[in-house]
Structure 1
């Protein structure tokens, strides 16, 4: 799908195009197509890139265009910026889509670009959905970027760090485009009204609702505005708006950044003991179609990672919510997940067990296959007894206080302390117990030394 504001250099945009949207030949043109800007200065919502201090402005001031990766959601101007860059630096603009282009088409593009270079003209090659090319296809751009045949501008909605080759990223600057904010979307509505010669049939609340429905996508906003103009009514209220127009589906890729960004926000909200924010991110994930079982698994992980023994009931609450969802299904079972999230957000926090486990793993890797002390090893056979297995073991229940104080680390290995309980929740009691055992352990060691 073409990006928002995608003007053809041969047919520059006309901001004041007729409201009926007819070209000379009589074919209708969508409003979003008619309102495409013809200058970089007319692109809205990306001032951090196009402003006087932005990287694109600096690149143009230097006079030498460089390869770029434009990363951002749909409808924010990626294709537009690429086309207008080509126009600004007087290069031939060539566009291919990674969805449809194959090796043969790329070879033709590279051959044509090489021929232009020999004739003294550069080529700006715009690759839409560049992340869809495989490694070999991405590598095919490299020699042509290096010899100057092409300046590559790739567009992607996916995180380039995960989807693009390191070699390609090393030769291109990654620029992040932002979803269009309310001010930018309002500017687009003003352009639409100027082009139509009349105001949208919306009051202030309806206008705000329309902007919210666009969810940062300028093309979606203009498409909905065009639908409103076509209704031919004098007024559409905010409540009626959602019935007349299709709301834009929230951006959420269950295998991409949307997935990981939202679960990260949920996890960190729980960790920050913010129940309202945690519920919001949970609702965002589930309403966007995330698998509730995935959420249940991750919420259970939060219980053991960030709460642990400060509230031992937290993991039980999560497992109960998981089971409740399995029995109830959606949407009723989602309430159980919400209940678990609230419990975790309001529970005392401790990562002491998590830290202790990582430290114990590191120590296990350091010490390799060092055996346990013989006192802790069973001796079921005569030979093992003759070898000293089990010798010196003290049965804790025989001690007056039920604690022998015996060292259970390997012989020759210095005792280490991995678990340090925090002074919160139930771990406050565990800290008291751990301190008592450590004190008695030192006393027992002193008694054995005296013997």
Structure 2
């Protein structure tokens, strides 16, 4: 049966000879309906950002293509770094038919059909590049199905995975593929994407310099997610004033409700108890504790809040506070009311009279903010375990100094991610047990500098 001709002026066909300006404008308008991330998809490997170690002039993948020695590959990297795009562009540059499936939606029948189609093309001299997204989601039997078609050259396989191939793929398939590690997009690459987006839209993002950096950090190295957020910002009116970091966060995230307002008195009393303890007033704390019990509050709820207070407001100033409070809770569970309430009252007095420090609470908050800002930075290679040959070849564990084997059991090595400056989140106070901890940390800081000088760092 003859294929029907493409209708005149069809979006995928040629323009009619009498194509008007209005038609061209309409086609441009339809193109702009596509998502921004799709409109900015690279059309050549040279346009792919953030993967110069693979696609630069001396990159592994570019050398492979230049030499005509393309093999089956596993592209291992986080979301939004261009795995699908790279596979499609490799097929185009290598002159191969591009076939794509997803392990999430495909089964044995789909694989059989894809392999049969590739075999037919192979018989006519046309090669096939089979791209398998989320290849780690296939089970071992499904992964084994790729072995004969890869070995016979029926397909050149490119699998994409966000999981460590050493654990996610079986050894037989892994041995027939070369693993290429894609990096999360760094600040420079993300900045380049934003500049391309602004050029495509024709105007700047309504952001201050600080908010622009925050937007990049929020993307966590995911270029697709970055462009999706940028598209939301471009939808704002043209006259929108530049948003600062706080306004940006409010726009792109929803705030969860803090509490049920129908029980305001309940929260008022627990707040009074908590703040009386923080103010080291055991008498006021006992009063609010008694008020809550008289009001019919579940003593277990109070015990839970006391345990929280011990961690949040006392912390390492008196590490025993957690144990005392947990023991009081256990005692209540054994004795019940009213006898067990005396143990909770003892915990209230202990917490009210203990030295106070929120240093751990503050340190944890600072660490969470840093973790959110830095995203998915990898630990330095020297502190990674290397249980597989691939991980050993990638340098995992090289140069690790076992602290117990060092003088004073302290190596002073860096344990923060590469590319992140050392932070001092925990600042112990000069109260209670934390006074001694502070002395210990100061000693280690001096010893760390000494070790670094010895290593010539």
TM-score normalized with structure 1 length: 0.52
> Structure 1 residues 243, 317: closer, same or farther in 2, change over 3 A?
same
Aligned partners of 1:22 and 1:29 also within 8 Å: no
1:184 maps to 2:183: no
Q: 2:101 aligns with which of 74, 77, 96?
A: 96
In the aligned structure 2, how far is the partner of 1:187 from the partner of 1:421? 45
- The match for 1:157 is 162
> Structure 1 residues 324, 235: closer, same or farther in 2, change over 3 A?
farther
Q: 1:58 aligns with which of 58, 63, 67?
A: 63
> Structure 1 residues 165, 241: closer, same or farther in 2, change over 3 A?
same
Aligned partners of 1:69 and 1:155 also within 8 Å: yes
- The match for 2:151 is 146
| 1:82-110 deviations in Å (ceiling 9; x for gaps) | 00000000100000000000000100000
Q: What's the offset of the Cα at 1:215? A: 1.1
SS at match of 1:231: coil
In the aligned structure 2, how far is the partner of 1:151 from the partner of 1:71? 17
Question: Moved runs in structure 1, 4+ residues, more than 3 A?
Answer: 20-27, 316-328, 335-339, 419-425
In the aligned structure 1, how far is the partner of 2:90 from the partner of 2:104? 23
SS at match of 2:194: helix
Q: 2:249 aligns with which of 231, 242, 246?
A: 242
- The match for 1:75 is 80
Aligned pairs (5 A) from 1:309-388: 338=360
- The match for 1:219 is 224
Q: What's the offset of the Cα at 1:422? A: 8.7
SS at match of 2:160: strand
Q: What's the offset of the Cα at 1:322? A: 9.1
In the aligned structure 2, how far is the partner of 1:325 from the partner of 1:84? 63
CA RMSD of aligned residues (A): 3.8
Aligned pairs (5 A) from 1:267-286: none
In the aligned structure 1, how far is the partner of 2:231 from the partner of 2:202? 13
1:201 maps to 2:206: yes
Q: What's the offset of the Cα at 1:113? A: 0.4
Q: What's the offset of the Cα at 1:338? A: 4.7
In the aligned structure 1, how far is the partner of 2:327 from the partner of 2:216? 40
In the aligned structure 2, how far is the partner of 1:325 from the partner of 1:220? 46
| 1:340-397 deviations in Å (ceiling 9; x for gaps) | x99xxxxxxxxxxxxxxxxxxxxxxxxxxxxxxxxxxxxxxxxxxxxxxxxxxxxxxx
TM-score normalized with structure 2 length: 0.51
Q: 1:132 aligns with which of 130, 137, 152?
A: 137
Q: What's the offset of the Cα at 1:240? A: 0.2
SS at match of 2:250: helix
Q: What's the offset of the Cα at 1:235? A: 1.9
Uncovered stretches (5+) of structure 2, i.e. residues with no partner: 1-11, 14-24, 255-317, 334-343, 345-356, 365-403, 411-457
Q: What's the offset of the Cα at 1:204? A: 1.0
Uncovered stretches (5+) of structure 1, i.e. residues with no partner: 1-9, 12-19, 248-312, 329-334, 343-418, 426-451
SS at match of 2:80: coil
| 1:285-310 deviations in Å (ceiling 9; x for gaps) | xxxxxxxxxxxxxxxxxxxxxxxxxx
- The match for 1:345 is none
- The match for 2:435 is none
| 1:29-87 deviations in Å (ceiling 9; x for gaps) | 11001000100000000011111222101111111311000011100000010000000
* Number of aligned residue pairs: 259
In the aligned structure 2, how far is the partner of 1:246 from the partner of 1:21? 34
In the aligned structure 2, how far is the partner of 1:94 from the partner of 1:123? 7
In the aligned structure 2, how far is the partner of 1:44 from the partner of 1:22? 28
